[in-house]
Amino acid sequence: MTGFDLIAPHLPVLTVVIPLIAGFLTPIIGWIDRRLPWYWVMLAMFVVLLIAGNNLVTVINSGTIHYKLGGWDPPFGIEYVIDLLNGFVCLIIAFIAFMVSIYSKESVKKEVPGKTTPFYSVFLLLITGLMGMTITGDIFNFYVFLEISSLTAYALIAMGDRGDGVVASFNYLIMGTVAASFILLGIGYLYAVTGTLNMADMQNLLPGVYDSKVVLAALAFFMAGFSIKVGLFPLHAWLPDAYTHAPSTASALIAGLMTKVGVYAMIRFMFCVFTPAFVIDVNMTEILTWAAALAIIMGSVFAIAQSDIKRMLAYSSISQIGYILLGFGLVNVVGITGGLLHIMNHAFMKCALFLVAGAIFYKTDIRNIYQFKGLGKKMPVTTTVFLIAALSMIGVPGTVGFTSKWYLALGSIEANQWIFVAVILVSSLLNIVYFWRIFDNIWFGHPHEIENIKRDEAPLTMLIPMVILGILCVYFGFFSGDLIEHIFEPLAKTLLGLGGVP
């Protein structure tokens, strides 16, 4: 028996355990040498990435993985369940976290001087929380990880801009705590009526008590709680400040992942704790689509009004989260496929954009988009990545943004909701408005203004992850066909209970 065979059965849980242990070891590593934590985090993230990839492959080949924590049988013990949905979300978390960890070296050194070790420690704990939320099959365990990820996120944000970061963090803390309380109440209600905390078990037991008002209240609590966590308009107020004032690395991580995991949780609860039929029946999906449509438009409109690039990207995130939720709210295969696609696509695009914003800030200390003149000459690679990711956000064909937009619009047509088609299309026009003025500033400056600008690119550790994400934005714009056919469409069917792979 080789070492790998020993570890193999425990791979599912290692995605949570590795960042947890690594996080607690970081202070020691940092104490040995202050330069080491970066390598340590990168190593940990790389291992997690490999494991997450391996888990997904296992799921595709041999179906859902059930891992019993401590050998206790569910529904009494805590069970980790990896199916296609969270296997895929886990891989995205691991991938984005790995990219951000490579990037973080110089950026963290500059933006949180003297606190790199605690930063990395918290970074790893955040990943622990997000991974845990994603793979757990136990509703209370979910809450525990939710709190871990929230607390670490508050800490990361508070390390940002002096003063503002703390205020933003405090705001988020209040809102996040309200959200968490809602979710906890919901969990309590469901536990009261079903007597179980295991998600699968709960889904079996719930239909019997669907006419109970308690169940309905629980659903409402969940939706309200998660809506705050994902920053669904008009519950978004914490989000722009938090994204703007966090250190660039943390912004990229939180924007790319936190809300995605929130969305994942929302979907998991809607479709796998409750049943799609029930959620549709109580009009929750319809409410969700309209809220999402509002978010799409308002997020874009607010983004146009911003001059701080990170703030603009934050508002753009609010709008993009709307896309994802719209797809799921449509509850048809095409729409959900679009929503799932957009989870991945938005992670790539938005992470790339925040990384670019961080790189520009690193080199020039500028965040105001009207001061970007001549950047095209100064940082050609960074700005090219920005161009690609921004075009992707707009939804130009040949980029990932187009593929998900196509599915979402098609799903809206299929649901006979023409108004949402209009919303999606109008929002791409709004995206053009707020991104194009940046293009103009970056590339069009009068010759005499930009004559003396020399090339001064961001360091390689920053460039590599940005370029990789930029390439992926284009790659998956052309080569999503197989992915959709083999993963997203079957997954969408499963979520709706229409069969397909387990």
Q: At residue 93, what is the residue type?
A: I
Q: Which is nearer to other proteins, 440 or 456 (CB)?
A: 440
Q: Is 479 in the site for other proteins (CB under 8 A)?
A: yes
Helix count (H) and strand count (E) of the chain? 24, 2
Size of the site for other proteins (CB under 8 A): 33
* Contact pattern for other proteins over residues 429 through 458, marking x by CB under 8 A: x--x---x---x--xxxxx-----------
Least Å distance, CB 338 to other proteins, is: 11
From start to end of 299-377, where are the E strands? none
x/- letters, 373..412, toward other proteins (CB under 8 A): ------------------x----xxx----x--xx-xx--
**Residue 417 is a binding residue for other proteins (CB under 8 A):** no
457 DSSP 8-state letter? P
Q: How many CB atoms are located within 10 Å of the residue 100 CB?
A: 29
Question: Binding to other proteins by residue 12, rule CB under 8 A?
Answer: no
Q: Name the segment binding other proteins (CB under 8 A); options: 57-65, 104-112, 315-323, 425-433.
A: 425-433
Report the alpha-carbon distance of residue 80 to residue 135 in Å, rounded.
6
Strand, helix or coil at 259?
helix
Count of C-beta atoms within a 10 Å radius of residue 396: 17
| List 3, 113, 481, 499, residue binding other proteins (CB under 8 A) | 481
Q: Please, which residue, 426 or 460, has the CB nearer to other proteins?
A: 426
Task: Report the residue from 39, 485, 498, 502 that binds other proteins according to the rule CB under 8 A.
Answer: 485
Minimum separation from the CB atom of position 382 to other proteins (A): 16
Compute the least distance from the CB of residue 109 to other proteins, in Å: 33
Residues paired with 244 in a beta bridge? none
Is residue 477 within the footprint of other proteins (CB under 8 A)? yes
Interacting residue with other proteins among 36, 421, 453, 501 (CB under 8 A): 421
Scan residues 208-227 and list those touching other proteins (CB under 8 A): none
Which one, of 435, 346, 450, lies nearest residue 399 by Cα?
346
User: Of 244 and 480, which CB lies nearer to other proteins in the complex structure?
Assistant: 480
**Min dist. Cβ of residue 423 to other proteins (A):** 12
Min dist. Cβ of residue 38 to other proteins (A):
34
> Whose Cβ is closer to other proteins: residue 114's or residue 447's?
447
Closest contact distance (angstroms) between CB of 117 and other proteins is 42
Spatial separation of the C-alpha atoms in residues 219 and 212, rounded to whole Å: 11
- From the list 425, 460, 464, 498, which residue makes contact with other proteins (rule: CB under 8 A)? 425
501 binds other proteins (CB under 8 A): no
Closest CB 425 distance from other proteins, rounded Å:
5
- List the structure tokens of 162: 């002096």
- Report the 10 Å Cβ neighbour count for 489: 18
Stretch that binds other proteins, among 6-14, 25-33, 296-304, 479-487 (CB under 8 A): 479-487
In terms of phi and psi (left: phi > 0; alpha: psi -120 to 50; beta: otherwise), the region of 424 is: alpha
Under the binding rule (CB under 8 A), the answer on residue 419 touching other proteins is no
> Interface with other proteins includes 413 (CB under 8 A)?
yes
- For residue 107, give Cα distances in angstroms to 38, 94, 252, 341, 357: 11, 20, 11, 30, 11
> In b/e form, how buried is each residue of 231-264, taking b as 16+ CB within 10 angstroms?
bbbebbebbbbbbbbbbbbbbbbbbbbbbbbbbb
Residue type at 479 in one-letter notation: F
Q: How far is the CB of 449 from other proteins (least distance, A)?
A: 10
Amino acid code (one letter) for 487? I
Stretch that binds other proteins, among 43-51, 214-222, 232-240, 471-479 (CB under 8 A): 471-479
Counting other chains too, the contacts that 22-29 makes at CB distance below 8 Å and 24 or more residues apart are: 22/124, 23/121, 23/122, 23/123, 23/124, 23/125, 23/128, 24/121, 26/117, 26/120, 26/121, 26/124, 27/117, 27/118, 27/121, 29/117
Which range of residues in 239-247, 251-259, 457-465, 472-480 is near other proteins by CB under 8 A? 472-480
H-assigned helices in 112-211 = 116-135, 139-158, 164-194, 199-205
Minimum distance between the CB of residue 471 and other proteins, rounded to whole angstroms?
15
Please give the Cα distance from 331 to 279 (Å, whole number).
10
> Which one of the spans 205-213, 224-232, 348-356, 483-491 is the region binding other proteins (CB under 8 A)?
483-491
Note the residues at the interface with other proteins (CB under 8 A): 391, 396-398, 403, 406-407, 409-410, 413-414, 421, 425-426, 428-429, 432, 436, 440, 443-447, 477-482, 484-485, 489
